[in-house]
Amino acid sequence: MITSILISLFPVLLIGALQWLTPSLVPATTPFGVRIPGDRADTPVIAAQRRRYRLGTAIVTAAAAAGVILAAGHPASGAVAGGAEVVAGVGLYRLARGRIIAVKRSEDWFGGHRQVVAADTSLRTDPERYPTSWAVPLVLLLAGTVVAGVVEYPRMPARLATHFGQGGHADHYAAKSIGSVFGPVLTQALVTALLLVLPQVALRGRALLDAESSCATVRHRRFVSATARALLVLAVCVNVTFLFAALVTWGLITVSGSVLVAASVAPVLVGTAVVLAVALRTGQGGSRLRLGTPTGAGGGDRVVNRDDDHLYRWGLIYYNPDDPALFVPKRFGVGWTVNMARPLAWVLLAATVAAVALGPLLGSYAR
Amino acid sequence: MILTLNVDGETPLYQQLRDRIVEAIAEGRLRTGDSLPTTRQLAADLGINMHTVNKAYDLLRQEGLVRLGRRTGAVVIRDADGGPPAAGVTEDWEARTRTLLAEAAAKGLSQEQIRQRVQAILERFPAASPDRPITESRS
């Protein structure tokens, strides 16, 4: 029971921690998704809303965790509590955002400023290179899994353990066949392909360039380069888990229950920790990187980033039919999101929903 | 090269884009053979309509400053080192400059003030100074 409580608590605490951290990870010119001139970043209302939001997320997280413990780690408790946290988090975000927008409007923060958009053509004519050497271990692991499956196929038992219950005891079996042996490998290949593409999104997506900063391009380059590598590290970790799971399923190695749980969870935890550590270090768009003293563009009327709040529906969803970009920087978080005005964004959304919905369904068939 | 467009100004975006690129060529930040991003890529980076970028690139093409390719985007095909201007360029430019200088004179700038300011602007263009550096670093 303790194990199941811990497993359900993990996502609840992770979501809570991410919500608590997010205000510190976004650029100072977009607190709670509100575009502000750089010289207003220290306005008291922003610090006050940040405190309120954090207090709110702490209370919600504590309540969600208590709920999981009271439910004694019921299998659905983690998902329900996590979902409630996300909904409450959106509410707290919208509250903080509303207060800041109200002050911004009443005090006319953008008055007397020249609003600009900036792009650096060198990011396209001399782009950051895909870290190919970091992808090599990934391809080797995948190839190793396939080779192990092919070579050891004759030696595999006639009945494969396809699912392990609590304590690591096999509770579902499937007859040995090409499908049951290589089905999981196909999943591994698809997940690997997806993780190989993600760094490309990081490298090709719109840059978050602060028109008020002189080192915006350096920030962006370091951010995408670190993010691309972290994603490939995560991909390697996920592949290690897949390989391990395959070897156990194929009866090529036998391990005790606790080792089974630890060895399959640990790599994914390590990979996630690496991605989180990089996000914490760089911040969204590299906004947390320390790059000497920033120098403003200066001039009589100050140059500021365009007030683009209206392009984010409910402060959450980017919708701009004029913008041909598909991947744009997240407003409140680290990474990229999609421009929902592009038809391809809906295709991606549908594919994600389908994958999430069909994944467990296919899994249950495989048993 | 950083391109900055004024979104709430009176000058249309395509005109600003064209002007910034002409300035970059004059200042030596862009040279013959340098490429600019594709229309789609630049529009996506700036978050503006593709037609806006298209219009700017097309103006530059008509002026003989860039060549457009479907896949390659725009390539700069002439800069300050590219020899004497084509026929009609000088006359056309002089007509527009007359208006600009007239505005300054009509609004009270003295001839000396105008000369100083024009000189200061020219000094930012490496081609205009006799001791032009051979290699100009691109940003």
Question: Which one of B6, B45, B48 has the shortest CB-CB distance to A322?
Answer: B48
| pLDDT value for A277 | 95
Tell whether B58 is covered by a domain: yes
Domain locations along chain A: 1-110, 131-290, 307-367
pLDDT digits (tens, 9 = 90+) for A46-71: 999 999 999 999 999 999 999 988 88
Q: Chain B within 8 Å of A117 (Cβ-Cβ)?
A: yes
Instruction: Tell me, yes or no, whether B66 and B25 share the same domain.
Output: yes
Q: List phi, psi (to 5°) of B36.
A: -110, 155
CA gap B6, A211 in Å, rounded = 11
Q: Which of residues 318-337 of A touch B (CB under 8 A)?
A: 320, 322-326, 328
Distance from C-alpha of A349 to C-alpha of A351, rounded to nearest angstrom: 5
Comparing C-alpha atoms, which of A161, A208, A188 is closest to residue A25? A208
| Residues B22 and B69 grouped into a single domain | yes
> Is B1 a domain residue?
no
Rounded CA separation B27/A217 (Å): 20
Nearest CA to A176 among A146, A191, A194, A156?
A156
The single-letter DSSP state of residue A310 is: G
- State whether B65 and B97 are in the same domain: no
* Cβ neighbours of residue A226 closer than 8 Å, sequence gap 6 or more: A278, A281, A282
> Domain of B114?
89-125
Does residue B32 form part of some domain? yes
pLDDT computed for residue A292 by the predictor:
67
Number of domains into which chain B is organized: 2
Residue of A nearest to B34 (CA): A125
B65 shares a domain with B113: no
Phi, psi of A76 (to 5 degrees): -90, -10
Element (H, E) at B60: helix B50-62
- Position with higher pLDDT, A256 vs A13: A13
Same domain, B31 and B69: yes
Residues B63 and B93 in one domain: no
Separation between Cα atoms, residue B73 and residue B44, nearest integer Å: 13
Examine residue B7 and state whether it is found in any structural domain, yes or no: no
Closest among A319, A341, A324 to B38, alpha carbons compared: A324
Mutate to test the interface with A, among B1, B3, B4 (most CBs of A within 10 A): B4
Element (H, E) at A115: strand A114-120
A123-144 pLDDT per residue, tens: 998 999 999 999 999 999 999 9
Determine the 3-state secondary structure of A330 from DSSP. Answer: coil
Q: Confirm or reject contact between A50 and chain B (CB < 8 A).
A: no
- Over range B17-25, report the average pLDDT: 95
Residue B134 has pLDDT above 70, yes or no: no
The complex's ipTM works out to: 0.84
- CA distance linking residue A27 with residue A330, whole number of Å: 11
Residue A220 has pLDDT above 70, yes or no: yes
Identify whether residues B21 and B50 lie together within a single domain.
Answer: yes
Looking at the domain assignment, is residue B57 inside a domain? yes
* Residue B130 belongs to some domain of the structure: no
Chain-wide mean pLDDT for chain A? Answer: 88
B38 in any annotated domain: yes
Does B136 fall in a domain? no
pLDDT at B78 over 60: yes
- Three-state SS across A138-184? HHHHHHHHHHHHHHHHHHCCCEEEEEECHHHCEEEEEECCHHHHHHH
- Is there a single domain that holds both residue B36 and residue B70? yes
What's B60's domain CATH number?
A: 1.10.10.10
Query: If interface means Cβ-Cβ distance under 8 Å, which residues of chain B face chain A?
Result: 1-9, 34-38, 40-50, 138-139
Q: Calculate what percentage of chain A has a pLDDT beyond 70.
A: 93
Distance CA A10, CA A102 (A): 37
pLDDT level of residue A257 (50, 70, 90 thresholds): confident
Checking if the pLDDT of A294 tops 90, the result is no
| Torsion sign across C-alpha atoms A110, A111, A112, A115 | positive
